[in-house]
């Protein structure tokens, strides 16, 4: 029994005893009854309200199995929302990539064949990839492969519907290169690495006298010498320069993130007409 109920019971007994002990006059008896009832009634009302509220709370409480089931449903809903959000992000990233690729193709000075990476081995991750274009699409060996950011590599073995691309980070892919804002030329190639880290590029046969000009951050472009790669393709940027016995060598970070290749373009020729200029943004 609650504390309020005990208090109400004690008051009730006191009122009854007072009723019998007090005078026998009817008027006084009625007055006492009225006073007792007016005092006791709120207490019983309070007790009744508390009991009703306690009963309502008890009915509203859920059992442990109900709580477990509700928690399971919430987890399932959260997983579904997370998956949906990831799918939407992937779709947005893919659409952005396709829009950028379309813009690059339209403003490029080359004839480009779009291709998708369809195979890539972990053993040759930094050396070659396979694309879904081949002879049927006009591809041949030793064709440059590019993206908007710069040079990816060149085609090697070409079949009817597929082709292999030798990446710029392979030591067998050599590109005649020049450093911006200087007249320094060299040969850029990949470096063999024994770890899983992305290999750097090495720009060799640089003149020792050019070392003070070769500052980190300078961009390296293809020079066009050799006939395989046209001039002006971005290869990377200088990270550091070191002196050697007969020449100097620069470490170059690739311009293209080769670890995340999905779509590329194969250069199959030069455009006969220059690309249309990109319209300037409107000003209000």
Query: Average pLDDT for residues 114-124, to the nearest whole number?
Result: 92
Query: For the structural domain made of 110-270, what CATH number should be given?
Result: 2.40.10.340
Rounded-to-integer distance, Cα 231 and Cα 260, Å: 25
Q: Are 4 and 46 in contact (CB under 8 A)?
A: yes
pLDDT band at 66; cut points 50, 70, 90: confident
Res 56: pLDDT: 58
Q: What is the rounded average pLDDT for all residues in the chain?
A: 79
Distances (CA, A) of 196 to 43, 124, 125, 162: 80, 11, 9, 27
Query: Average pLDDT for residues 37-46, to the nearest whole number?
Result: 56
Q: Which positions ≥6 away from 8 have C-beta within 8 Å?
A: 40, 43, 44, 47
Rounded-to-integer distance, Cα 22 and Cα 16, Å: 10
59-68, 211-220, 243-252: which range is least confident on average? Answer: 59-68
Distances (CA, A) of 50 to 2, 39, 53, 257: 10, 18, 5, 70
Query: Average pLDDT for residues 273-279, to the nearest whole number?
Result: 54
Could you tell me the pTM of the whole model? 0.62
Query: Cα Rg for the chain, rounded, in angstroms?
Result: 42
Query: Average pLDDT for residues 180-198, to the nearest whole number?
Result: 82
Rounded-to-integer distance, Cα 156 and Cα 171, Å: 14
Rounded-to-integer distance, Cα 150 and Cα 141, Å: 19
Res 284: pLDDT: 42
pLDDT band at 194; cut points 50, 70, 90: low
DSSP for residue 180: T
Q: Is 139 exposed, middle or buried (0-12, 13-18, 19+ CB in 10 A)?
A: buried
Which residue would you say has higher pLDDT here, 174 or 31? 174
Helical H runs in 22-162? 26-60, 64-107
pLDDT band at 26; cut points 50, 70, 90: low
C-alpha torsion sign, points 238, 242, 244, 246: positive
Distances (CA, A) of 177 to 91, 145, 181, 222: 37, 16, 13, 4
pLDDT band at 242; cut points 50, 70, 90: very high
DSSP for residue 173: -
Q: Are 199 and 192 in contact (CB under 8 A)?
A: yes
Distance of CA 67 to the CA centre of its chain: 34
Asked whether residue 13 carries a pLDDT value surpassing 70, the answer given is no
pLDDT band at 33; cut points 50, 70, 90: low
pLDDT per residue as tens digits for the range 81-92: 887 777 666 555
Res 239: pLDDT: 93
- Which residue from 268, 284, 273, 281 is spatially nearest to 113, judged by alpha carbons? 268
- Which residue from 30, 35, 1 is spatially nearest to 15, judged by alpha carbons? 35
Token pair for 128: 């070659």
Res 10: pLDDT: 72
For 267, the 3-state DSSP assignment is strand
Rounded-to-integer distance, Cα 266 and Cα 143, Å: 7
């Amino acid at each position: 029994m609650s504390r309020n109920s005990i208090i109400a019971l004690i008051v009730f007994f006191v009122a009854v005893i007072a009723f019998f002990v007090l005078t026998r006059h009817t008027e006084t008896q009625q007055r006492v009854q009225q006073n007792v009832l007016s005092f006791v009634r709120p207490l019983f009302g309070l007790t009744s309200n508390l009991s009703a509220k306690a009963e309502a709370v008890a009915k509203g409480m859920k059992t442990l199995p109900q709580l477990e089931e509700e928690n399971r449903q919430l987890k399932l809903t959260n997983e579904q929302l997370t998956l949906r959000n990831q799918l939407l992000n992937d779709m947005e990233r893919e659409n952005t990539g396709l829009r950028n690729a379309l813009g690059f193709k339209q403003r490029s000075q080359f004839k480009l064949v779009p291709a998708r990476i369809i195979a890539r081995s972990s053993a040759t991750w930094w050396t070659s990839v396979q694309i879904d274009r081949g002879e049927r699409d006009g591809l041949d060996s030793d064709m440059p492969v590019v993206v908007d950011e710069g040079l990816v590599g060149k085609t090697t073995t070409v079949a009817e519907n597929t082709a292999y691309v030798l990446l710029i980070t392979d030591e067998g892919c050599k590109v005649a290169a020049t450093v911006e804002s200087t007249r320094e030329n060299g040969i850029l190639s990949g470096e063999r690495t024994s770890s899983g880290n992305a290999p750097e590029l090495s720009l060799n046969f640089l003149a020792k006298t050019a070392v003070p000009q070769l500052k980190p951050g300078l961009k390296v472009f293809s020079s066009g010498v050799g006939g395989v790669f046209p001039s002006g393709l971005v290869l990377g940027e200088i990270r550091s320069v070191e002196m050697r016995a007969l020449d100097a060598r620069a470490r170059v970070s690739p311009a293209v993130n080769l670890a995340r290749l999905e779509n590329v373009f194969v250069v199959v020729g030069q455009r006969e007409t220059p690309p249309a200029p990109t319209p300037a943004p409107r000003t209000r």
